[in-house]
Chain A
Amino acid sequence: MAAELSSILVIVLIVMAISLAFSIGANDETLSALVGARVVKFKIALIIGGIAIGAGMISFSKGFVAKTVGADILGEGITYTYFMLLTVLVSSIIWLVVGSFAGIPLSSTHSLIGSVFGVLIVYALFQGDVNPETALNWTKLGNVVLSWFLSPLFGFLVTFILFKVIAKFYLSRLKGLNQIEKSERNFKWILLLAVIFAEIWVGANSGEALGILYGLFDKGSLNLTEYFFYAVICAIFAGIGIYVAARYVIKNLASQMIDTRPSEGIILQTSSAIILMIATIFGLPISHSHVIVFCILGLSVAQKKEVDYKSLGKMGIFWILTFPIAALLAGLIYSGFIYFGLP
């Protein structure tokens, strides 16, 4: 009976991980700049984006962010139980759905790590032999949380500096609209490369889905071949997510970006991709949306444009609240599982 339940839970978790990968693709708006600039046809852009996000996800599935979420963040000798993983997923999804209905942009990464934190604290409190102090790898968790503050800051700085350098040595030398148009026409093709580069790192840093699979692999419920097989499925579904669901948000954003210069798109995408790349190499799951918002902020400040600090402040409050709320929610859900004897 217990074995049957375990098998069912493994299947449920795999299905949920694949769904999560789909939703990662479905919520990705990286292609908007490319579609807005009409570099390639809309469907071609979606296919390119889908392949790039999938390639990024699969290329870095062996370790990096997936390993951090699926194993490294846990204390020594601790592995996830099925209900822990289920709780992490359910709690993240609930908080993200609440955020979506309330119109608040939330980070799935913060939500997931917050849920992991909540689950492990409750687990340690209810298991007599586990010390809450050793239930988590505090150093890793500290690095992850630190990266959440540093990544937007570096996104801001990299964009600011990149724009200033390009403006000084190139953009400020363009005098007439003909010259600007010609230059931006050439930039369109570099934008294509920048978006592919960014999309690869978005996929590589999206550790939510693969983190769950890695948790199952670390626990021994999946062998390496099975892990890779499901990781490939996740990558494919992330790509399908872009093609099937993200097209609406991309089209909508792209229509608002008609006036955006391809050169600005290149600066934004390259900056965010660099931050995502560094974070991925260090195995740190960060929020792509937070980074891109600060990159846009960096560009606006560099261009001396007005910044809506009020909206930014409101967004910042929800970013900070996401971790504790997700932790609390996950703690409550997991307490319920434990209460019913399902640890």
Chain B
Amino acid sequence: MEDLDTNEVDDKKLAKLSIDELTRLFSENINQQTLKLIEGIEFLVDENFEKFMESMKYVIKTNTEVNIKKKFESKIFKSKLMFSKADRLKLFNKINDIKNIGEFLANKMLLYRIVFPDDTFKLQMLDILKSLKIISNEISEAVKLIGSDLSKAHVVCENIKEVRRSMRKKEWKLITRLYNYDMDYLSRTFLYLKELIETIMMLADHIKNFSEYIQFLATKYLIFD
């Protein structure tokens, strides 16, 4: 597949792509948006609100991936291949769910301008975001590998699960810290930070479930002698 600028893909180019190429393009596109979301939260941590707003707006902008999705759906509907059709569609929808959660988080984050409580909290948050960046890149890599090497995709997904496990520990550490601050549990800052952590973990959980689905596909389609 030629390198396509995922933001400027016209209809004619999309029409020429195969189901697998569309899936990969869609996955790359969503990964870029997730990375932008992570970058935006990092700007928020740095209290660079202008850049933060810019990143969130980018995430919410949906034109290109909607076009890819439409093209994919029309292609898969007409596809004559039966035995992997349902799995291809499910795979695509799981990528789309990453976008939905990311968009949900971006919208939520724009509701209120927050300042993080202290530097330790900021560092712990950046640590979680670093892990999220890793699994976001790896899930995109695993999607790319589905078409060419399911065994490798399986290995990549195993790593995602490992990173996600370590994220859970970091999450509890952060939540514990949050609950021990001297602030009202009804305060906007508390609620905002609590929901921010929970939604980041929701995204990580989805990526983990997605990686398990890719492992299921590898188990289903690979035949060993």
Give A residues with C-beta under 8 Å from B: 36-38, 164, 167-168, 171-172, 174-181, 184-185, 258-262, 303
Tell me if B147 counts as interface (CB < 8 A to partner A): yes
Please pick, from B82, B83, B223, the residue contacting A171 in the complex, using a CB distance under 8 A: B223
Cα distance A171–B221 when bound, in Å? 10
Q: Is the CB of B84 within 8 A of A172?
A: no
Q: Is the CB of B147 within 8 A of A262?
A: no
Scoring B residues 45 to 88 as 1 if CB is less than 8 Å from chain A, else 0, what string do you get? 00000000000000000000000000000000000111111100
Q: Which residues of A contact B223 (CB under 8 A)?
A: 167, 171-172, 174, 303
Not counting A175-B148, A177-B84, A178-B147, a sample of 7 additional A-B residue pairs whose C-beta atoms are within 8 angstroms of each other reads A167-B223, A167-B225, A172-B224, A174-B223, A176-B148, A177-B217, A303-B223
Q: Which residues of A contact B145 (CB under 8 A)?
A: 176
Q: Which residues of A contact B151 (CB under 8 A)?
A: 175
From A254, which residue of chain B is reached at the shortest CB distance? B82
Scoring B residues 109 to 147 as 1 if CB is less than 8 Å from chain A, else 0, what string do you get? 000000000000000000000000000000000000111
Q: Which residues of B contact A258 (CB under 8 A)?
A: 82-83, 85-86
Tell me if B95 counts as interface (CB < 8 A to partner A): no
Q: Which residues of A contact B80 (CB under 8 A)?
A: 38
Q: Which residues of B contact A176 (CB under 8 A)?
A: 145-150
| Sampled A-B contacts (15; CB under 8 Å) | A37-B83, A172-B223, A172-B225, A174-B222, A175-B148, A175-B149, A175-B150, A176-B148, A177-B84, A178-B20, A181-B81, A181-B84, A258-B82, A258-B83, A262-B83
Q: Which residues of A contact B217 (CB under 8 A)?
A: 177
Q: Which of B198-225 contact A (CB under 8 A)?
A: 217, 221-225
Q: Which residues of B contact A262 (CB under 8 A)?
A: 83
Cα distance A184–B86 when bound, in Å? 15
State how many angstroms separate the Cβ of B189 from the closest Cβ of chain A: 47
Tell which of A164, A177, A180, A181 has the most Cβ of chain B within 10 Å. A177
From B88, which residue of chain A is reached at the shortest CB distance? A177
Q: Which residues of A contact B224 (CB under 8 A)?
A: 167, 172
Tell which of A38, A164, A167, A178 has the most Cβ of chain B within 10 Å. A178
A-B pairs, 6 with minimum CB distance: A168-B225, A176-B148, A178-B147, A171-B223, A172-B225, A175-B149
State how many angstroms separate the Cβ of A188 from the closest Cβ of chain B: 9
Q: Is the CB of B86 within 8 A of A177?
A: no
Q: Which residues of A contact B222 (CB under 8 A)?
A: 172, 174-175
Cα distance A37–B82 when bound, in Å? 6
Cα distance A185–B148 when bound, in Å? 16
Q: Is the CB of B225 within 8 A of A184?
A: no
Q: Is the CB of A259 within 8 A of B83?
A: yes
Cα distance A174–B84 when bound, in Å? 15
Q: Which residues of B contact A168 (CB under 8 A)?
A: 225
State how many angstroms separate the Cβ of A128 from the closest Cβ of chain B: 64
From B18, which residue of chain A is reached at the shortest CB distance? A178
State how many angstroms separate the Cβ of A303 from the closest Cβ of chain B: 8
Q: Which residues of B contact A259 (CB under 8 A)?
A: 83, 86
With contacts A177-B20, A177-B147, A177-B217 known, is A36 near B82, CB below 8 A?
yes
Cα distance A172–B194 when bound, in Å? 48
Q: Which residues of B contact A38 (CB under 8 A)?
A: 80, 82
Q: Is the CB of B225 within 8 A of A180?
A: no
State how many angstroms separate the Cβ of B87 from the closest Cβ of chain A: 8
Cα distance A174–B81 when bound, in Å? 17
Cα distance A179–B222 when bound, in Å? 11
State how many angstroms separate the Cβ of B144 from the closest Cβ of chain A: 10
Please pick, from B82, B84, B85, B86, the residue contacting A180 in the complex, using a CB distance under 8 A: B84
State how many angstroms separate the Cβ of B219 from the closest Cβ of chain A: 11
State how many angstroms separate the Cβ of A233 from the closest Cβ of chain B: 36
Q: Which residues of B contact A184 (CB under 8 A)?
A: 81, 83-84
Q: Which residues of B contact A175 (CB under 8 A)?
A: 148-151, 222
Cα distance A245–B147 when bound, in Å? 41
From B80, which residue of chain A is reached at the shortest CB distance? A38
Q: Is the CB of B148 within 8 A of A178?
A: yes
Cα distance A177–B150 when bound, in Å? 7
Q: Which residues of A contact B86 (CB under 8 A)?
A: 258-259
Q: Which residues of A contact B147 (CB under 8 A)?
A: 176-178
Please pick, from A36, A164, A179, A185, the residue contacting B81 in the complex, using a CB distance under 8 A: A185
Cα distance A174–B225 when bound, in Å? 11
State how many angstroms separate the Cβ of A89 from the closest Cβ of chain B: 40
Q: Is the CB of A177 within 8 A of B82?
A: no
State how many angstroms separate the Cβ of B223 from the closest Cβ of chain A: 4
